[in-house]
Amino acid sequence: MAYTAIENMRKKNEVRFGADVGPYQPPLYQNRACLQDLKSAALRFIHERCEGLLFDPEKEAEEQRTGVFLGKSLSAGQIPYNMEMDIDRLCLEKALEAFIDSGVAEDAYTVYYCYLEMFLGRYGNSKRMVELLSEYEANGSSLLMKHRDHYSHSVYVFALGLAIYETNAAYRHSFQSFYRLEDQEENGRANLFLEYWGLTALFHDIGYPFELPFEQVLSYFEVDHQERGKGSLYLAYHDVEALTGLDEAAKDRFETLYGKRFETVSALLAHDIAQKLGAVYDFSEDYLLDVLDRKPTQPNRFGYFMDHAFFSATRLYRELEEELGAENLGPMHVDALSAILLHNSIYKFSIAFYKDKEKRKAPLKAELHPLAWLLMLCDELQCWDRTAYGRNSRTELHPMAVDFDFSDSAIRAVYYYDREEQEKIDAFKLKYASWEAGGEQGKPPRLKAYSDMAEKEQRFTADIEKIVDTGSCPLHIRPDVRRVDRRSKHIYLSDSNFLHLYDFAVALHGRNMPPETSAEELEAGFSSQSLEYQLSGINRAKSFGRYLNALGCFYTDRPVDYEMVTAFTPEQALQIAPLEHERWVREHQAMGWRYGTAYETLPLDPDDRQARRALRELLRCHKLAMDGDVTDEGIREHFISLAEEDQDKDWRPFNSMLKLLKKFDGLRIYKL
């Protein structure tokens, strides 16, 4: 019984109406060929381990006492609060499933959206933190020599961590022992892990906008093959206290938690990390604080590299303080921040010295810092399906896909490279064989990631094993080749760098509001819906590129010399409407909705339209939904059979939206 509040409502409805009328739970995705693959394991964790996520017993008791529901669906008061929380968790499960299937940034976006809405409050409050990374990478990274996507990468890292927790009993034990959770129910442990692992994984790279300008300056000189080092022109950050300084409320809070007063986030994190790792790795709190103070201000002392992890941790602290309040931050929030701080260069080069044979320390054990251990492991493993932005990165050979098997607490991974690059691979193999035949003199030949996995030195695996202790989850890595399949990417000409999806969805939702309605009022109306309905609006906006592609049109936030579209013709509407109906049907199927008209026919007191709409949300059935394994053609035939009024619902929103888009900066629709 994975979604207990949904199941409880089903039982109550059966008693109330004398028949099994719903709501019903959607089935768990399972790969029958391998139940321990990435997708199956990650989704099984959310579906089965996270029962009762964010449930509120006090609100449930109040609902039983008053008979008034405190949850919202299409509007407030339609369903029980805990049922809304179950549906929110189902939203996260389905968003992650869609992302694993496609890997595209637009689907990564909805995973971020779900997490922020569920754990940090309203997405609109934190959207700049999330969207800034995608904006910088899409617009500025092409100026770098080496750079690959970190936006979708972070969601893959999130999924990997869920899969490892689900399949590796030793890691679960390390996490539960570290946080003294042995007396809690399993779902309570899993829910805690989901919240703080999500915070760690999804936001571990949000500091890249601070690193990218630094790298852009150095890349200007590296174009001429000038090595970075003494004589390089570089950027450094000053007045960092504007980002790291703690106010009095925060100082008081952390003094209560740690028995020591801190002036900055850096000092807080230096203390936390030294308490966990200092004795094992022989360093002091003062040493680490000195490293942190010099990281942004003296990059020349660190090989002329800027550490985005420092900025990710400090920027995320600011967001947590603003959204949750310093008085509500606890040790696990600090642990998430220190895990982020450690994941890049600080642990590798200032604590463990993993590339220095003389100074190298032991790899990190999970029991010392479970979140940091998992982040480092998953961050290294996630090297597939990452958009290459940098000049050199675009021409290098990187894995495009991977198959994971987490059976027997091990990690078996086959990384796939593009078969069209077979010529490069064959040339590398010849060079490597020649190097071996020549007595292995000098450095072995390299072919970026492929050689690190294919050569006998196994650099890829060996480097990970120098960073984290893999005794409890042995790695078995090998490369292979196969043909590229980008059909799941749904790549169209429409492009807004993911920044306007939220505004797009808000505009669609507010299409019937008066023309003088402000953007703030539109946003308030959109956010008054449940997460499920907000995501439906976002998914409709995400699908618009597909619809425009069918019309020979596209949207963009860039000025282009094409004819602007201000309204859709009836002929164009006939093309859009069936596509939107298909999206709606499949979305409702995924979320467990069924075909039915019971909400229109069952006896109700009072019997009014509002009560009927609330009953529809309680039963989760709809007269326009479809059951079973339906085909695209079957959905199209279903659409044709609908009344004209229902057909109009699938295209009129897009026509009305064209006028509302003027409220949001930059996005316009053009005809090819």
Number of helices and strands in the chain (H, E): 30, 10
Q: How many CB atoms lie within 10 A of CB 37?
A: 19
User: Does 461 map to a domain?
Assistant: yes
Q: Do 419 and 378 fall into the same domain?
A: no
Query: Over 70: is that where the pLDDT of 5 sits?
Result: yes
pLDDT per position as a tens digit, 71-112: 999 999 999 999 999 999 999 999 999 999 999 888 998 999
In a domain, 28, yes or no: no
Residues 237 and 176 both lie in one domain: yes
Amino acid at 345: S
* Cα distance between the two ends of the chain: 51
pLDDT score at 217: 82
If asked whether residues 342 and 428 sit together in one domain, one would say: no
In order of 50, 53, 206, 418, 636, the CA distances from 200 in angstroms are 18, 18, 11, 31, 43
Q: Are residues 319 and 200 in the same domain?
A: yes
Measured CA to CA, the distance from residue 2 to residue 592 in angstroms comes to: 13
pLDDT of residue 663: 59
Q: pLDDT at position 219, please? A: 77
Indicate the DSSP class of residue 384: S
Q: Is 169 in the same domain as 314?
A: yes
Q: Which of 467, 486, 505 is the endpoint of a domain?
A: 486
116-123 mean pLDDT = 86
Query: Could you tell me the pLDDT band of residue 507, with boundaries at 50, 70 and 90?
Result: confident
In a domain, 570, yes or no: no
* Dist CA 371 CA 253 (whole Å): 22
- Nearest-5° angle of CA 259, CA 263, CA 269? 70
Lowest mean pLDDT among 101-105, 295-299, 399-403, 527-531: 101-105
Given this model, what pLDDT does residue 136 score? 61
DSSP codes of every residue in 77-131: EEE-HHHHHHHHHHHHHHHHHHHHHH--HHHHHHHHHHHIIIIIS-HHHHHHHHH
Q: Which of 465, 486, 507 is a domain's end point? A: 486
Q: How far apart are CA 110 and CA 99, in angstroms?
A: 8
pLDDT of 225: 62
Which range (197-211, 212-226, 279-293) has the least confidence? 212-226
User: Residue 344's pLDDT is what?
Assistant: 94
What tens digit of pLDDT does each residue of 431-444 get? Answer: 999 998 888 888 88
Q: Which residue has the higher pLDDT, 220 or 307?
A: 307
Does one domain contain both 292 and 416?
no
The pLDDT assigned to 492 comes to: 66
pLDDT tens figures, 636-651: 999 999 998 888 888 7
Task: Answer whether 88's CB lies under 8 Å from 531's CB.
Answer: yes
User: Residue 656: pLDDT above 60?
Assistant: yes
Q: What's the confidence (pLDDT) of residue 512?
A: 77
Residue 536 lies in a domain: no
CB within 8 Å of 299: residues ≥ 6 apart: 214, 234, 235, 236, 305, 306
Contacts of 596 (CB under 8 A, 6+ apart): 21, 22, 619, 621, 622, 623, 625
Higher-confidence residue of 233 and 83: namely 83
pLDDT confidence of 560, banded at 50, 70, 90? confident
Q: What would the mean pLDDT of 519-547 be, rounded to a whole number?
A: 89
In a domain, 389, yes or no: no
DSSP character at residue 557:
S
147, pLDDT greater than 50: no
The pLDDT tens digits of the residues spanning 293-305 come to: 999 999 999 999 9
Q: Are residues 235 and 348 in the same domain?
A: yes
Burial class (CB in 10 A: 0-12, 13-18, 19+), 244: buried
How confident is residue 280, by pLDDT bands cut at 50, 70 and 90? very high
Residue 131 has pLDDT above 80, yes or no: no
pLDDT at 148: 57
Q: Taking a C-beta distance cutoff of 8 angstroms, is the pair 277, 369 a contact?
A: yes
Split into its structural domains, the chain has a count of: 2
Query: Measuring CA to CA, which residue among 361, 367, 338, 341 is closest to residue 467?
Result: 361
Q: Are residues 378 and 421 in the same domain?
A: no
What pLDDT is attached to residue 557? 72
Query: pLDDT value at position 463?
Result: 95
- Chosen domain end from 438, 456, 486: 486
Residues 377 and 413 in one domain: no
Q: Are residues 378 and 419 in the same domain?
A: no
pLDDT average, residue stretch 572-589: 92
Cβ–Cβ under 8 Å, residues 179 and 332: yes
Stronger pLDDT, 64 or 34, i.e. the higher one: 64
The verdict on residue 39 lying in a domain is no
Q: What is the mean pLDDT of residues 110-139?
A: 76
Task: Spell out the long-range contacts of 654-660 with Cβ–Cβ below 8 A and sequence spacing 24 or more.
Answer: 654/508, 654/544, 654/547, 654/568, 654/576, 654/580, 655/567, 655/568, 655/573, 656/511, 656/512, 657/504, 657/507, 657/508, 657/511, 658/565, 658/566, 658/567, 658/568, 659/515, 660/507, 660/510, 660/511, 660/522
Q: What length does the chain have?
A: 672
Q: Is 240 inside a domain boundary?
A: yes
Is the model's pLDDT at 391 over the cut of 50? Answer: no
Report which secondary-structure segment, H or E, holds 492: none
pLDDT for residue 664? 58
> How much of the chain exceeds pLDDT 70, in percent?
90
> In terms of domains, do 309 and 456 share one?
no
pLDDT, mean of residues 371-399: 78
Confidence at residue 440, expressed as pLDDT on a 0 to 100 scale: 85
pLDDT at 497 over 50: no
The answer to whether residue 145 is domain-embedded is yes
Q: Average pLDDT of 492-521? A: 75
Domain that holds residue 260: 110-382
pLDDT digits (tens, 9 = 90+) for 412-467: 999 999 998 899 899 989 999 999 888 888 888 888 788 889 888 889 999 999 99
**Mean per-residue pLDDT for 232-255?**
94
pLDDT for 156-189, tens place per residue? 999 999 999 999 999 999 999 999 999 999 999 9
Residues 371 and 424 in one domain: no
DSSP 3-state assignment of 229? coil
Residue 396 scores a pLDDT above 70? no
Please say if the pLDDT value at position 479 is more than 70: yes
Average pLDDT over residues 265-280: 98
